[in-house]
Structure 1
Amino acid sequence: MLKSIVFALVILTSSLQLNAQPWKAKWISTMESQSTTNTWLMYRKTIKITARPATAFTRIAVDSKYWLWINGQQVVFEGGLKRGPNPTDTYYDEVNIAPYLRAGSNTIAVLLWYFGKDGFSHKSSGRAGLLFDCQAEELEVLSDKTWKAALAKAFQTAGEPYPNFRLSESSLLYDARKDPGVWQGTGYDDQWMPMAQEIGQAGDGPWNNLVRRPIPLWKDYGRGAYPDSRNFPFVSTGDTIICTLPYNAQLTPWFRVEAEAGQKIMMATDNYLFYGPETNIRAEYITKKGVQEYENPGWMNGHKMYYFIPAGVKVLDLGYRETGFQTRFDGSFSSSDPFLNKLWEKARRTLYVTMRDTYMDCPERERAAWTGDAVNESGQAFYALSPASHSLGKKWLYELVNWRKKDGTIYAPVPAGNWVSELPCQSVTSIGYYGLWNFYLHSGDRQVLTDLYDGAKQYLDLWEKDGRGTMKLRRGDWTWGDWGDQIDTVLVYNLLYSLGVKGMQLAANELGKTEDARSYAQFLETFREAFNRQFWTGTAYRSPGYKGATDDRVQALAVVSGVAGKDKYPALLKLFKKEEHASPYMEKYVFEAMFRMGYEDEAIARHKKRLSYMVNHPGFTTLFEGWGIGAEGFGGGTVNHAWTGGGLTVLSQFLCGIAPLQPGYKLFQILPQPGSVTRARASVASVAGQITSSFKQSDKTFVLTAVVPDGTRAVVGIPDKGYRRIMLGKEVIWENGRYKKNDRIQMMGDTPGHISVLVTPGKWELCASK
C-alpha cells in the first residue's frame, strides 16, 4: 500500500511540474495540405535512451485528433479534443509515455486527423499541426524539424452523400492501394518521408493558448467480435452483412479480408442508413491485393453494423472496437415495476452514448452540445455514473461561459465554428438551478461556482423586466421553447428565468455575495406574486395573448420553480391528466412536478403513457428525441437523445428519495416517494461515497434501508401514510404521532410528507407499521 501511495505521489508531482514548465516544442506539419479539409498526416521520430525513465509525461496538442504508437504499440486511441475551451484556444493532452519506452532505440509515431472544417461541435484552427513536448527528468523529446512528416495519402474523403453541415468530421475512404505499410513500427524504412516543417511555437496562432484537457482519455474496450458472430472464413456473395451490437455504442468497425485490388467495401450503422435523420458518418475502403486488415478510425454509432462487401471477397473476420467516456456505471436502480427498470436502463445507455468530447444532443446527426440537453444529461450522470463523469459537466459549464459574446450573451452549442445563435431558454436554464447550481450541489466543486459566477450574472443581467414584476420575452436569435406545439412561450421563458435567478441566488449566498443574494431574493418574491396575479386563471397558468391549448410545460415549470402554491395542485393535476404537449425534453419537468406535488402514481401513469412506445420498443436500447422515430419525432427525430432520460433522475431523486441538501453530499436526504410501487432500490456513487436507498412496502408496513457513507449525514424518512409506529432495528423511535428519545439519532420535524430522522454514517433500517 505504501509503495502505491508513493508512486501515486510521484505521478501527481510530475504532472504538476509538467504543467508549470514552459513549452519547448515546435508546431510541425508538412509543406502541403496544411489547410485542406480531411487531411491525414503521419509523423515519426526515433530516439535513443540508455534506460527507461520512471515517468515521462508528454503534452500533445493537435487540430483535430491523433493516434499515438511507441515501438509499434498503441498508446492512445483517438487523442485530442475538438476545439476549444473558448473561441480561440486549443486543448492539449497529457500522456505518460514511460511505460512504453525501453533502453536503446525507440520509435514514436503519430497519426493526425485534421478535420479542416467547422461544425456544431468544433471550431477549426485553419491549419493542421502537431505539438509534442516531453520534458522529463531523464528524457527530452520535442517536436521539431528533425521529425519525419508525410501525408497519409491512403486516407481520402468518401464521395456523396457528404455528412450534413453540423458535423466537422468527414466520411472516410481508405485506399489500401496507397497503404504505406506498418509505418508505426520500429523497423520501418522511413527514408521516403520528408522532414517536418516547423510552423510555430506554443502560443502561436492559429492554435493560440494551450489548455490542459479537462476530461480523461477515452475508455477503450478493445477489439471484439459481434455477439452474432459468423463462422469465418466465408466468401461474400455480394449480400449485405448485418452484425448486431449488444447495445447502441460508439464504435470503430474493423475487418480482415482477402481480395483482389480495387474492390470497394462500405461500412455504416443503422443510424446512418435509417435513423440519421440527416446524412452522417459512413466508411469506405478500396482493397489492395491479398490479405488485409482495416479498422476505420472515425467513430460511429448504432445498434447494427452493416458491411457492404463485393462478391468474391473472402471475409476472414469482422469485429468492432467500442470506445466511450472514461467513467463507470456505478449508479443503479431496480424496482417491482418492470417499466421503470427498463426506462432507467435505457436512459443510462442513451446518456452514455451521448458523452464524448462534450455532452451531445445525439451522436450521429450533429454531435453538438445543445446546452438544454446538457442540463438534463448532467443531472442524470450524477445518479447513473461514477464521479469521473463530473468532469464532462464541468467542461460543459466552463465552455458555455467562456464562449459567451462580448456583450455577455451565452449561446450554444459550443464549441462551434458555424453557430453563434442564442436560445435564451436553454442558456438561462444552464446557468440556473438545474444547471450551474445543480452541478455544484452534486459535485461540491466550489471553484466552478467561483470562476463562472460573474459570467453567468452578466448574462442574467441582459434579460429585461417588463415593469409588472415579470420579464419581457427575450427572443434571442432563436425563440425556441421546446419541440412540439401549444407552447405558451412568454410564460415558459419567464419561469425558466426565475429558475435561473433561483440558482444564482443560491450561488450568491454560497459565495458570500450578500447584495446579489438579497436582490435575487427580492426579485423572486416579487415575481412569484406578480406571475400568479397576472397569469393564474383559476384553473391554469396562461398568458393573455396565448390562444392555444393550455401548455403543460408552463404548469410544470410553475411547480418546480416554486411559483405555484399547494392550493393550485388539484387544478394542475387535472391539467396534467388532460394536456400532453411537452416534448420528451420538457416531459422531465412534468414528471418531476407531479412528484413534487405528491401525485406519484399519477406521475408514473403519465410517464408510462407517454414513453411506453420507446421504452418497450424491442429494437432499441436507447430513447428517442421525439415520441416516435424519424418523421414521427421532432426535428427529424433521432433514436438516441439523452434529453428524454430525465425520468432516470426523477426515479432516483424522488421515487427513491436520494438528493443532496448540502454541496458535495455532506448532508443529504433519503425521503422516498413510493406511491404504489411496492419495492425499489437506488444506489448513487456520490463524491462522498456510495449511497443506497431501498424500500419495501405492503398494506401495513414500510421498510426503508439506507446506507450513509463516512463523513456525511443524512435525513432519512418514512412516508407519512398513516403509520402508527416506526422502529429503528429493535427500538421504537416514533409512535402515535410522537418521537421517542434516542441517543443514536436526531429527530426531524421539518420534512413535510415524511416522518424523518437525522442519522450518521452506517447502515440504517427503519420499519413502519400501521
Structure 2
Amino acid sequence: MIAQISRLRAEHRTNAFGLGTATPRLSWWVAADGGVQAWAEIERTTARGPIVARIDGDEQVLVTWPFEPLRSRERSEVRVRVGINVGEGREQQVSAWSSALVVEAGLLERDDWASSLIIPSETADHSRCRPAWMLRAEFDLATAPVRARLYVTAQGLYRTEINGRRVGDDELAPGWTSYGHRLRAQAYDVTETVVLGSNAIGFEIADGWFRGHIGFDGGVWDLYGANVGVLAQLEVTADDGTIRRIDLDKKWRTAVGGTIATGLYEGESFDARLHPEGWSTAGFDDSGWMHPLVRPVESIDARIEHAIAEPVRQIERLAPVMVERLPSGRVRLDFGQNISGRLEMTVRGASGHRIRLHHAEVLEGGELGIRALRAATSVDEYVIGGGEVRTWQPRFTIHGFRFAEIENWPDGLDASALVRAVVLHTDMERTGWFECSDPNLTKLHDNTVWSMRDNFVDLPTDCPQRDERMGWTGDIQVFAPAATYLYGSGGVLSSWLRDLADEQHEDGAVPNFVPWVPCGFPEPASPAWGDAAAVVPWAMWQRFGDRGILAQQFSSMRAWVEHLASRADEDGAIRSGFSLGDWLDPAAPPEDPGAGRTDRYLVATAYLVRSSRIVAEAAELLGEHALRSRYHALADHTLRGFQDEHIARTGRMHVETPTGLSLAIAWNLFATEGQRETGGRRLSELVAEGDYRISTGFVGTPIICDALVQTGHIDSAYRLLLERECPSWLYPVSMGATTIWERWDSMLPDGRVNPGDMTSFNHYALGAVVDFLHRIVAGLAPRESGYRSFNVAPQPGPGIDCASTEHLSPYGPIRVAWQRDGDGLNVDVEVPFGTTAYIQMPGDDSPHIATSGRHRFSAAPSQPKGQICLLT
C-alpha cells in the first residue's frame, strides 16, 4: 500500500489553535508496509503561498519547527509527507501528503495585550461564598469580518457568551496556575458568532481558585488577590488583512445575576428568577447595571501565557443505575461510578420552588458519607423561575461523588430520566489499556484509570472531593509512569511543571503541593515529594520522547537535587530535616500517616541517589557533559553514604522493611549482586510473613512487585498482587470500589468509613502499581525514549492465564497479548512503523527483533526456543 500519514499534531495538543509558542514541534504517525523513513517534507502554507522544508532522517516525534517562528496571531496550514526506504535495495517510496493541520499562534508577547482588566466589584464578604458577577458590553461591526478572535484570561473563573451563544466549551477556565507568576489565556474563533451590525458580549466571572475558599485545616480566602477580573481582547480581521481591536473598555456594565453564591468546595446556588434573560444579546436593557472598575493590563504582575494543554471539558454523562425515594422525601441516586463533576437536571415547577443537591462518594450507615468531605459541604441549590422546562447544572463548582440526594425534587418528575452526572476533567486522549484473566485485577486497572481522570482536573491533584484537591508532588511523582501510559498527559504535566519551577524556593526547595496554599501543612520540602521536580520530566522523556521538557525543567531539576544534597551530612547520607517518609504505610497510626516502618531518612537518601542519577542522564542528553559528571559523582557519593548508613558489613540492611529492601533492589543501592539477591530473598520472606498483604506506603508500593520479580521471586509478586484481604490492592475492589482509595482501609470491612480525619475514596497514588501491570504482567516497556524501541517480555505468574495491553505510543499503536497454551506461551505483538520491538520469550537466550507489522511468538515445552511467524 502507499504509505499514509495520520495524526499530524503540534506539541501535546489535539488541535493547534491559539498556540503559545512560536516554534511548535510536530509529530505524526506513518502507516506503511515496512521500511524506514528516510526523510520528511513539511509544507507550510500561508497567505504568501507554500514553503517546503525537507528534514533528512527517521524522526517523526516532536520534530523541531523548520520554518521562521510564528508571529502573534499568525495562521498557517501544515502538512507532511515522507520518503520510505523499503527492501534490500532500499527502493524509495513516497507517501501521500497528510491532511492539513491548521496552526495558529495566540498572543505571544505581553505588548499584544492592549485591553484592560475589568473588575466587577471591590467588595468581598469573607464569611460566605460570593456571587458570580456578570459583565456585558455592546459593539457594532460595519462590515462582516473575515476572521474574529477572542483572547481571554481571568483572575477567577469565567464563561463567555456572544449574541446569546456560548463561546467555547471550556469548564473552570482559565484553570488553576500559580497566579502570582502566570495566568493562562485561551483563544476562541468567534468568526461565526459575531454578526454584521449590533453585537453583545458577556462574561460570568466567579472566585474559583483565585479568590475563593481553598485549602484544608480551615483553608484560606483571597489567596491571590482581593478582586476577580477578566481580560478580554476581541479582534476582527478585514478582507484586506487589517486587524482591528474592538475597544470595549468604557462599554462594560456589571451586575449580579442568578448565581447568587458559588464556591469550588461548597457548591453553587442559582436562582433562576434572578437570571436576566437575553443579557448577552444586543439591545438588552442594562441601564440598572453598574460601571465596573477598569485597570490597565500593567496591573497584572503575572506572565500571560496561552494554555499548552487541552482544557477541562464535560467528557461524558452518566445515567443513574439506581434511584430510590427515601423516607425523608429525598431522592437518592447511585451513578455506579465515583467521578469528578456535577449534576445536570431538567426540571419544571412553580416559581420559587427550591431544590438542593447533596453529594458523597460513599454511603455509611444508610446515609451519605459526608464526614470525610470535611469543610467541602458540596451542596448545590436551584430555585425554579417558573413556567418552562429548564436544564441546569452548576458552572463554577465541582464535586467528587458517586451518590447524590435531591432534596425537594418536584413531584411527578422522573429523576432517572431527568438527572445525569456530568464527568469533568482535562480532555486528555486515552492512550493505555489493560485486561487480564483475573476480573478483579482488570477492575483495579479500571479504577486507577477513573482516579486519574477524576484527579486530572486542570492539574494533577490528590483528590476531587474534600477540602483539599491540591497538586501534591508526591502523588504524581510515584504515578508519573502510569499517567504517561494511560493518557496523553504531556500538556497537563508540562503546564504543572512550569508552576513547580515558579513556586520553587531560591534554595531549590519544592513545596509539597503546587500551587502552594499556606493552609497549615508544613512548608519545608519533603524527599520523595520534591523529587517530582526530577522524576516527572524524566518520565515524560521516557514515555513521550520529549527532550524539550528536560530543557524546560533542567534548572529546576538541578536546583532540587542541590537542595536535597545540602541536607546531607558530609558522608552523603541524610539524617535530619522534614520528611514524610513512606507515607501511609498501613502500620502507621491513623493520626500520624508518616510514622511507617521504614526510616524516613533512608527514603530521603535513596531518593537523592535516584534523582542525582536522573539529572546526570538529563545533562548528558542536553549536552551538559560537565554537569553530567558532577551529578554522577554526587550520586556515587550519596550511594556510599547510603550503604555505610543502612547496610551492614554482612550485606544485610540494618533494618529490613519491605519498602527499604524494595528501594535498595529496584534502584541498585546494594554494593554487590550477592547482597541484592540476599535482599530479594529477605523481601520475599517478609512478604510471606505478612500473609501477602500490603506492608508499604506511597514510596514502596509502586516498586515492591518489581523488586520481587527482579530478584527471581515472581510467585511472591503475584501472590501479593492478587491478595484480597485488607490491606491489599484488591481489597477495595472486593468492597465495590470504583476508584483507588487514599488509605488501604478507607472503608472498613463492616462498611464503616475509616475514622481518621484524612480519608478519601479517590486518590490515584496507590494505583501506581498499574505500571507494573503494563510492563511486567502484560510485558510492554519502553527500551528507548518514546517507545522508539520497546521490550516485550511478559512474565506470567500464578493466577493469571492471559493478559493484554495496548498503548498509543508517539509512533503509533502498540499491542501485546499473551495466553498460556498448556505449559507454553503464545504472544501476539503489533509493532508500529518507525519502531523496533525486542521480544524476550521464556527459554530464549536473546530477544527476537521485530519491525512494523503483526507478529506471533510461541514457546512450548517441547520447543524451548521461541518461534516467530508474521501475521497477515
Could you state the TM-score of these two structures normalised by the residue count of structure 1? 0.84
Deviation by residue 1:90-114 (Cα, 9 ceiling, x = unmatched): 2212222224334444332211112
Deviation at 1:588, TM superposition (A): 1.8
- Give the secondary-structure state (helix, strand or coil) at the position aligned to 2:716: helix
Structure 1 unaligned segments of length 5 or more: list them.
Answer: 544-549, 724-736, 738-754
Contact between 1:351 and 1:377, CA under 8 Å: does it hold in 2?
no
Assess, with a 3 A threshold, how the Cα gap between structure 1 residues 408 and 762 changes in structure 2: closer, same or farther.
same
- Partner residue, 2:432: 331
Assess, with a 3 A threshold, how the Cα gap between structure 1 residues 449 and 123 changes in structure 2: closer, same or farther.
farther
Contact between 1:236 and 1:314, CA under 8 Å: does it hold in 2?
no
Amino acid in the other structure paired with 1:475: G
Assess, with a 3 A threshold, how the Cα gap between structure 1 residues 429 and 532 changes in structure 2: closer, same or farther.
same
Q: Is it true that 1:217 corresponds to 2:324 in the alignment?
A: no
After TM superposition, the structure 1 stretch with the greater mean CA deviation from structure 2, 452-461 or 33-42, is 33-42
- Partner residue, 1:554: 660
Amino acid in the other structure paired with 1:40: A
- Partner residue, 1:757: 848
C-alpha separation between the residues in 1 aligned to 2:603 and 2:107? 48
C-alpha separation between the residues in 2 aligned to 1:525 and 1:208? 40
Contact between 1:481 and 1:493, CA under 8 Å: does it hold in 2?
no
Amino acid in the other structure paired with 2:341: L
Contact between 1:335 and 1:681, CA under 8 Å: does it hold in 2?
yes
- Partner residue, 1:673: 795
- Partner residue, 1:179: 275
1:271-420 to 2 correspondences below 5 Å:
271=361, 273-274=368-369, 276-280=372-376, 281-291=378-388, 293=390, 294-297=392-395, 298-309=397-408, 317-365=418-466, 366-385=468-487, 387=488, 389-418=489-518
Amino acid in the other structure paired with 2:840: G
- Greater helix content: 1
Deviation by residue 1:177-201 (Cα, 9 ceiling, x = unmatched): 4332342345643333234431222
Deviation by residue 1:259-283 (Cα, 9 ceiling, x = unmatched): 4454432112123941534231221
Within the candidate set 89, 96, 105, 2:182 is matched to: 89
Deviation at 1:246, TM superposition (A): 4.4
After TM superposition, the structure 1 stretch with the greater mean CA deviation from structure 2, 495-504 or 373-382, is 373-382
- Partner residue, 2:607: 496
Aligned length, in residue pairs:
713
- Partner residue, 2:81: none
1:238-637 to 2 correspondences below 5 Å:
239-271=329-361, 273-274=368-369, 276-280=372-376, 281-291=378-388, 293=390, 294-297=392-395, 298-309=397-408, 317-365=418-466, 366-385=468-487, 387=488, 389-418=489-518, 421-432=523-534, 434-463=535-564, 464=566, 469-476=571-578, 479-483=580-584, 484=588, 485-537=596-648, 540-542=652-654, 550-564=656-670, 565=673, 566-568=676-678, 569-579=680-690, 580-583=694-697, 586-609=700-723, 610-618=728-736, 620-629=737-746, 632=754, 636-637=758-759
- Partner residue, 2:256: 152
C-alpha separation between the residues in 2 aligned to 1:93 and 1:358? 16
Contact between 2:107 and 2:306, CA under 8 Å: does it hold in 1?
no
- Partner residue, 1:68: 160
C-alpha separation between the residues in 2 aligned to 1:578 and 1:140? 74
Amino acid in the other structure paired with 2:685: K
Deviation by residue 1:57-111 (Cα, 9 ceiling, x = unmatched): 3221112111122222222342423442464332212222224334444332211
- Give the secondary-structure state (helix, strand or coil) at the position aligned to 2:701: helix
Contact between 1:236 and 1:311, CA under 8 Å: does it hold in 2?
no
Amino acid in the other structure paired with 1:462: H
- Give the secondary-structure state (helix, strand or coil) at the position aligned to 2:608: helix
1:73-152 to 2 correspondences below 5 Å:
73-76=165-168, 77-85=170-178, 87-115=180-208, 116-117=211-212, 119-120=214-215, 123-138=223-238, 140-142=244-246, 144-152=248-256
Deviation by residue 1:639-681 (Cα, 9 ceiling, x = unmatched): 0111021121110022222222222222222222222332111
Contact between 2:441 and 2:730, CA under 8 Å: does it hold in 1?
no
Contact between 1:85 and 1:399, CA under 8 Å: does it hold in 2?
yes
Assess, with a 3 A threshold, how the Cα gap between structure 1 residues 56 and 123 changes in structure 2: closer, same or farther.
farther
Assess, with a 3 A threshold, how the Cα gap between structure 1 residues 504 and 222 changes in structure 2: closer, same or farther.
closer
- Partner residue, 1:199: 295
- Partner residue, 2:807: 684
- Partner residue, 1:705: 828
Assess, with a 3 A threshold, how the Cα gap between structure 1 residues 598 and 392 changes in structure 2: closer, same or farther.
farther
Deviation by residue 1:390-413 (Cα, 9 ceiling, x = unmatched): 211212222212211122211131
C-alpha separation between the residues in 2 aligned to 1:97 and 1:229? 41
Deviation at 1:351, TM superposition (A): 1.0
Assess, with a 3 A threshold, how the Cα gap between structure 1 residues 254 and 336 changes in structure 2: closer, same or farther.
closer
Assess, with a 3 A threshold, how the Cα gap between structure 1 residues 443 and 156 changes in structure 2: closer, same or farther.
same
C-alpha separation between the residues in 2 aligned to 1:560 and 1:86? 38
Assess, with a 3 A threshold, how the Cα gap between structure 1 residues 319 and 111 changes in structure 2: closer, same or farther.
same
Assess, with a 3 A threshold, how the Cα gap between structure 1 residues 592 and 57 changes in structure 2: closer, same or farther.
farther
State percent identity of aligned pairs. 17
C-alpha separation between the residues in 2 aligned to 1:574 and 1:81? 52
C-alpha separation between the residues in 1 aligned to 2:161 and 2:856? 53
Amino acid in the other structure paired with 1:379: P
Deviation at 1:551, TM superposition (A): 2.7
Deviation at 1:27, TM superposition (A): 0.8
- Partner residue, 2:58: none
C-alpha separation between the residues in 2 aligned to 1:22 and 1:141? 11
Amino acid in the other structure paired with 1:100: T
Assess, with a 3 A threshold, how the Cα gap between structure 1 residues 584 and 522 changes in structure 2: closer, same or farther.
closer
C-alpha separation between the residues in 2 aligned to 1:528 and 1:406? 26
Amino acid in the other structure paired with 2:279: W
